[in-house]
A and B are shown apart, each in its own frame.
Chain A
């Protein structure tokens, strides 16, 4: 049996195709990115080594501050909207007395399966200052607030982040709902018998027990916030001006519009480092509470 299962030829045959394509398309490019970030390189001609100077330039690049700030704002909107509201909806929806749960769950998830292009275009129409749904709705409700949602340098980043939050709300909701459902009902019963109200019991019992779910949801929200790109690209091309730039948008611009590949690679390295750092901090924080 042992010889049977350690057939070297078979192992090689099973392993190699996946290993090859994965190494060439994922691992090698990652290493390339790090390596190229130390070069002055336009993507075509020979690269010249310039050590840390890409990183030094980056520190003085005003776009970096804009991008970091936008990334954090984006992440914050995702975290608050998806996790905060998602929790409320998941807890309410888990109540067996609620009618139409299947319909509710299904409808929350529908935006997830849509193409991001459709969602962005739909919201461009909704945000339209004169004909869009949002401003008209405010008008209808006699709320005097009107906004140029996508062209205002202060509001647009929030408006764009909201589109992402809206689309993937159903996804985070499903994760949280699965978390609520996985908690044995006896726990809740015991808490209510001890005199807790339903919401109190949720706060003391359900939510703490969903730590792993929250950890994951938070990692998803924060890393997708830091790396956001598509929504800015489609909805405002990073504008007005450069006010909606994110790190990924910087990479895209420097690499593909200005052919400054070395510099763009340095931005990529910053992006990965930040994502990994955020993941690590979230992991550490959640694990410390355990002790």
Chain B
């Protein structure tokens, strides 16, 4: 009886396991097939022999390396800037003593409740007016601004919890405020930095809407954007399309498999503060 119940409880879990993972398995497996095998002889199963030529064609004929580089530059620079600016801001809000810090904190929080779509139009015009269109800046500047409210909130929470004695002893030892920030506070909040870094890198890496509106130059496209244009090019070659999508996805999936706990935590922490 107990056994039966255990099976009953497990069944939905494994059914959804298949629903969650099978589409990806299917994608990878058709990236290794030719059209005949996908459509006629073997639509569901694993490929009979591995057709690496889809991958060679995808890599050499299209701009995939370029998209990767662009995505990497945009995501890492934005993430780095977010961390630096948010750390500084949160330090001033959480640790230093001045009159309007609570209002400034609330002002920063507003950004978390603004749907991104509202700023889409003025942002496009802003980027145009600052002559940032089709540069890395067109994405880095907005991504930094969008990432700040969340990151500041996380750092603020962490910094609030640091005991004042740490600062006092630093003060006694004659460290100035900047040294204290760099050598006492920043090392103490390292776990928060890791969380913010994962969360922001992932969001920036996969951001689509703003990139779509702000970037039109082929050479500046990020990965999610570049992939869009394979749709037309490859509409008759499913294997090639599958190869492109697999190449684009694997790095993130592998990183996730290595750091799954940290990634999930970062994402859940990111949300918990929003509620």
Interface residues of A (CB under 8 A from B): 1-2, 4-8, 10-11, 13-15, 17-19, 21-22, 24-30, 32-33, 36, 43, 85, 88-89, 92-93, 95, 97-99, 103-118, 121-126, 131, 133, 136, 140, 166, 169-171, 174-175, 178, 212, 215-216, 219-220, 223, 227, 229-230, 233-234, 247-248, 251-252, 255-256, 261, 264-265, 268-269, 271-272, 275-276, 279
For the complex, what is the distance from the CA of A154 to the CA of B111, rounded to whole Å?
A: 36
Docked pose: A5 CA to B9 CA in angstroms: 57
Q: If A89-B12, A166-B19, A178-B268 touch, does A113 touch B253 (CB 8 Å cutoff)?
A: yes
Q: Is the CB of A109 within 8 A of B256?
A: yes
A26 and B274 in contact (CB under 8 A), knowing A1-B171, A110-B256, A115-B208?
A: no
* Neighbour of A255 across the interface among B124, B167, B225, B256, CB < 8 A: B124
Are A89 and B114 touching (Cβ within 8 A)? no
What's the Cα separation between A219 and B85 when bound, in Å? Answer: 29
| Contact across chains for B118 and A29 when beta carbons are under 8 A apart | yes
Check if B252 is an interface residue, CB within 8 A of chain A.
yes
Given A106-B257, A121-B231, 15 extra CB contacts under 8 A: A6-B98, A10-B177, A11-B92, A18-B88, A25-B126, A36-B121, A88-B12, A89-B16, A115-B248, A140-B44, A166-B23, A174-B268, A229-B209, A234-B231, A268-B117
Q: How many A-B residue pairs have CB under 8 A?
A: 274
With beta carbons under 8 angstroms apart, the residue of B9, B85, B108, B208 that contacts A117 is: B208
Contacts of A106 in B (CB 8 A): 257, 260
The answer to whether A14 and B88 touch across the interface, beta carbons within 8 angstroms, is yes
Identify which of B50-58, B137-145, B187-195 touches chain A.
B137-145
Chain A residue contacts of B122, Cβ below 8 A? 28-30, 32-33, 36
B240 at the interface (CB under 8 A from A): no
Using A25-B126, A89-B12, A111-B20 as known contacts, say yes or no to A116 and B118 having CB atoms under 8 A apart. Answer: no
Say yes or no: is B263 at the interface (Cβ < 8 Å to chain A). yes
Determine if A216 and B271 form an interchain contact, defined as CB atoms under 8 angstroms apart: yes
CB distance from B252 to the nearest CB of A (A): 5
- Closest Cβ of chain B: how far from A94's Cβ, in Å? 10
Mostly, the A contact residues are helix
CB distance from A130 to the nearest CB of B (A): 8
Contact of A174 among B27, B171, B267 (CB under 8 A): B267
Nearest 6 A/B pairs, CB to CB:
A25-B145, A29-B122, A216-B275, A18-B89, A14-B92, A29-B119
Question: In the bound complex, do residue B121 and residue A33 qualify as a contact, i.e. CB atoms below 8 Å apart?
Answer: yes
* B residues in contact (CB < 8 Å) with A: 6, 9-10, 12-14, 16-17, 19-21, 23-24, 26-27, 30, 38-39, 43-44, 85-86, 88-89, 91-93, 95-98, 104, 107-108, 110-111, 113-126, 141-142, 144-146, 148-149, 152, 167-168, 171, 177-178, 181, 202, 205-206, 208-209, 212-213, 223-225, 227-228, 230-231, 238, 241-242, 245, 248-249, 252-253, 255-257, 260, 263-264, 267-268, 271-272, 274-275
| Nearest A-chain residue to B177, judged by Cβ | A10
Q: Could you pull out 28 A-B pairs where Cβ atoms are within 8 angstroms?
A: A6-B98, A10-B96, A11-B92, A19-B89, A22-B108, A22-B149, A25-B119, A26-B111, A28-B122, A29-B121, A33-B122, A98-B13, A104-B13, A107-B21, A108-B17, A110-B20, A113-B206, A113-B255, A113-B256, A114-B253, A122-B27, A122-B245, A123-B23, A131-B38, A174-B264, A219-B274, A220-B271, A272-B114
